[in-house]
Structures are given as C-alpha cells and as structure tokens.
Structure 1
Amino acid sequence: MAVTHIALLLYVSIFILYILSILSLEKLFSHRPKVKSDTVFKIYAGFQPYFFTLWTFTLHMIFVILAILDETSKILKLPVAIQKRLGKTRAFIFNTLLFPSCLLVSTFFWGIWHIDRELIFPKAVDEFFPSWLNHMLHTFTLVPMVIELLLPKKYNFVQFRQAAPILIIYSLVYGAILISLYLRHGVWIYPVFKIFTWPQRIFFLALIMAVQVLFLKIGISIQNTKRPSKTAKIK
C-alpha cells in the first residue's frame, strides 16, 4: 500500500476519533450533572471556548480535514493547482500553529499536573469529565504530530522567520483574552494563575510564548531535514 493511502487511512481514523470526542464534549456540557463542585463545572461549561486546549483541538480538526483532502487529491490526481493549494495550507497550519501549540498543551498540562494537578485540572473535574476524553485532548493529539513528521515531504516548507510573527500574534491574542476574562468576570480558567502576582503572570505568559516559538523552531527544523539535497538549507 502506498504511503499516501496509509496516510489517508490514518488521518480518516483520527478524524473519526476527533468527531466522537466533539460529540462527547457537546453531550457533557449540554446538561448540568449533579456534582459536588458546581463552581468548577460552571467554569468549564461557561468558559469552554476560551480554553487553549480547545483552541488547539480546533486547529487539529482543521489540519486533519486538510490532510485528508490533500492525500485524497493526490490519489485522485486532481489538478496540480488544487494539490499545491491544499499542500501549502496544510503545511502552514501544521508548522506555524498546530505543532508548537500541541506540544505546548501536552508539555505544560502534564508538567503542571505532576507538580500539582489542582493548578491545571482540579480533581473535582473528574466528577464530570471522563479520563479518556482528558487523554484525547492532552495526549492522543501528539499522534498526528508524529505521523506528519514521519511522512515524506518534498515541497511546501515553511520558513521560521515568516512563521514566528504569526505564532507570536496568535499567542498574544490568546493571552489578552485570558486576562480580559479575569478583568471582566474575575475568573482564571487556569487555577495556576491564581497563585501568581501580576508580574509573575506576565512572566509566565511570556515564558509560554517563548516555549511555543522554540517548539516552532524545532518543528520546522525537523521538517527541513526532508528537503531534497539541492535545497537542504535550513531557513
């Protein structure tokens, strides 16, 4: 079986799992279960669209759909212009936003979890949030990252100097939204921010951005190792 067919099969399987996860999330927050910590549930239900994990999961859905369309266009031998557009968009989403954001989510979530899970995902959440869904959002999402990095590649390489400003703006927008939620509603959706002073919060957000940019550099460098020998220059 050709690599393209294998990639298509893998991404279709991942897409199905993602759809099941979305349906489970929708069902989870469509009604109010009887839980001891109603405040925690209200935060997760009421501010669900503002969690960076779900921002990243949305990027995952966009990327997987693009990957499926891209691989399908190759199998069906659609016009070259269509294949190029799909390939470039797929590479842009993956390298510029998805790869650094996905690694950030998994690294910081599980890192803080092992220090003190109450700072990132309070134990009270276990009352209504299933463990498998937690791992789907914070662990399994690394699988398509590995698949995409392992797939052969000849075109559509992204340059770091062009991708970095876009990622930084994306990160700044999220940071501004996170702070505005606190100023408007008095809620930190991530408990870790409660223990910080304002200078520490700003430093922590800056650290997150720096780590994201580092992950961006790593991802692009890995992808650039696939360049044909004549253009094997890392940019």
Structure 2
Amino acid sequence: MFFALQGDIMKDPEIETFAALQWAYITIWNVIFQLAYPCLGILCDLPTILEIKEHVLIKQLKTYREIIFASIILPVGIFITFVFWPIYLYDRELIFPAFIDKVLSQGSNHVMHTAIFLIIAWEFIFLPKSAPESHKVNLAHIFGCYLSYLIVLFSTHYRIGAWPYPLLKLALGTIFFPMIFIGVGVLIHLIYFAQWPINKLIWKTKEVVKEN
C-alpha cells in the first residue's frame, strides 16, 4: 500500500485524501502492533534459541509480552476482524470504499482484516497464559491505546476535514456518533474479559481471583 501511494496516482483526489488519513485508520495501527509483537516474541525466545542463561530483562519482557497480547494484540485484532467484515459485506462504502482498491488489493485486505484473526488464534491456543490477579494494568493499556487513537482520529479530522470511515461522516450530528465510540470501548472491554474463561477452558488452568 505504501509503495502504491506514489507517483501519478496521488493526483487522484480520493487517493490523496486516503493517504492523508492513513494514520487515522485503526487497521494501520494494528499492522504496526502485529509487526512489533513477533519482534518482542523473538527477543523473549533468544535464550532458548541460543541456549544461554535467561537474563532478568528477558523475564521482564516475557511478562510485558503477556500484557501486550492480552490488552492490545488480542482485543484490537479480534475487534477489527469481527466488526470490519459484517459492515463490509453489508455496504463496503461505509467502511472501505471501492476507490481504495486502486492502492490496496483484496489480498492485502485479507491480510489486514482476516489473517490477523488466525495469527491471534494460533498465539492464544499455543502459548499458555494465566489470568492476572488485577486487570488494572491491562485495562490501562487498552484504554490508553484507545484514547491515543481517538486523539489522532479527531486531530486528523480537524486538520484535513475528513473522516477515515464514511460511517462516521453519516453519523456525525446524530446520537449514533457518540454511541459508535462508546460501543467500540464497550466491545473491546468485553473481548478482553472474554479471553480468560476461554483460556481457562483450553488450558484447564485454575482461575485466579480477579481484582476488578
């Protein structure tokens, strides 16, 4: 996509606006998360790969890897997959207008909106995790990320005068506009908490008392 946004195609007003809005797409944020997380995983696995003693820093990184996966990677990735496709299939112009096909193939579309679910499922199933005694740190990561995204989203709209998703333009000025953002926050919150009973079912782990 980044290579496609070069040359004469940038003379297209729709593509020019799309390029200016790209950092306001939550999918682009998720791509960065999905690329950074495996790098963190490789660092955590280096002692095993190199057969060396595990440094205390690696132990801390492993702890943080669990936090990042539970609070960012899983909730955001699952949210994107299960919200994007129903809206796309109903009316793609609400979330992913057809003009984007000029710079983003359907294959790339599936990489960003379908494959992420399979990758998350693989990690969730094969890497054991335990529920934290307190969810405060994880929730701080979730809503810190969401707040950061909202700041970028609204500041981008202020600068450019456009929304990345046409659905927001249609909802602007109605009760549905704030309800969209409230609904997103609630759904991500539910996805986060849903992972623990599923994790327990997979690994038959003993439930840890949670401090909400």
Q: Fold match, TM over 0.5? A: yes
Alignment pair present for 1:26 and 2:18? no
Alignment pair present for 1:136 and 2:111? yes
Worse-superposed segment, 61-70 or 214-223? 214-223
Q: Equivalents in 1 of 2:200, 2:47: separation in Å? A: 23
Alignment pair present for 1:216 and 2:212? no
Q: Equivalents in 1 of 2:41, 2:61: separation in Å? A: 8
Instruction: Measure how far apart 1:70 and its partner are.
Output: 1.8
Q: Secondary structure at the match of 2:9?
A: coil
Q: Give the 3 Å change call, closer, same or farther, for CA 158–148 of structure 1 in structure 2.
A: farther
Q: Equivalents in 2 of 1:234, 1:158: separation in Å? A: 6
Worse-superposed segment, 68-77 or 126-135? 68-77
Worse-superposed segment, 71-80 or 126-135? 71-80
Q: Equivalents in 1 of 2:108, 2:169: separation in Å? A: 25
Alignment pair present for 1:105 and 2:80? yes
RMSD: 2.4
Q: Secondary structure at the match of 1:47?
A: helix
Q: Give the 3 Å change call, closer, same or farther, for CA 161–49 of structure 1 in structure 2.
A: same
Q: Equivalents in 1 of 2:80, 2:20: separation in Å? A: 21
Structure 1: unaligned runs, 5 residues or longer: 1-24
Which of the residues 194, 197, 204 maps onto 2:180?
Answer: 204
Q: Equivalents in 2 of 1:31, 1:104: separation in Å? A: 34
| Aligned-residue identity in percent | 22
- Which residue of structure 2 aligns with residue 55 of structure 1? 29
CA contact (8 A) 1:113 1:121 kept: yes
Q: Equivalents in 1 of 2:43, 2:133: separation in Å? A: 20
Q: Equivalents in 2 of 1:206, 1:110: separation in Å? A: 20
Which of the residues 66, 69, 74 maps onto 2:48?
Answer: 74
RCO (CA 8 Å, sep 6+): is it higher in 1 or 2? 2
CA deviations on 1:9-47 (whole Å, 9 max, x unpaired) are: xxxxxxxxxxxxxxxx33112334288xx2221122122
Instruction: Tell me the TM-score normalised to structure 2 length.
Output: 0.86
Which of the residues 160, 167, 173 maps onto 2:148?
Answer: 173
Q: Equivalents in 2 of 1:203, 1:156: separation in Å? A: 30
Worse-superposed segment, 41-50 or 96-105? 41-50
Worse-superposed segment, 180-189 or 139-148? 180-189
Q: Equivalents in 2 of 1:84, 1:97: separation in Å? A: 20
Matched residues, number:
207
CA contact (8 A) 2:84 2:113 kept: yes
Alignment pair present for 1:65 and 2:39? yes
Q: Equivalents in 2 of 1:58, 1:158: separation in Å? A: 29
CA deviations on 1:74-118 (whole Å, 9 max, x unpaired) are: 332432524312211211111111110111111121121011100
Q: Equivalents in 2 of 1:28, 1:214: separation in Å? A: 37
Q: Give the 3 Å change call, closer, same or farther, for CA 139–126 of structure 1 in structure 2.
A: same
Q: Give the 3 Å change call, closer, same or farther, for CA 113–228 of structure 1 in structure 2.
A: closer
- Which residue of structure 2 aligns with residue 9 of structure 1? none
Instruction: Measure how far apart 1:218 and its partner are.
Output: 1.5
- Which residue of structure 2 aligns with residue 186 of structure 1? 161
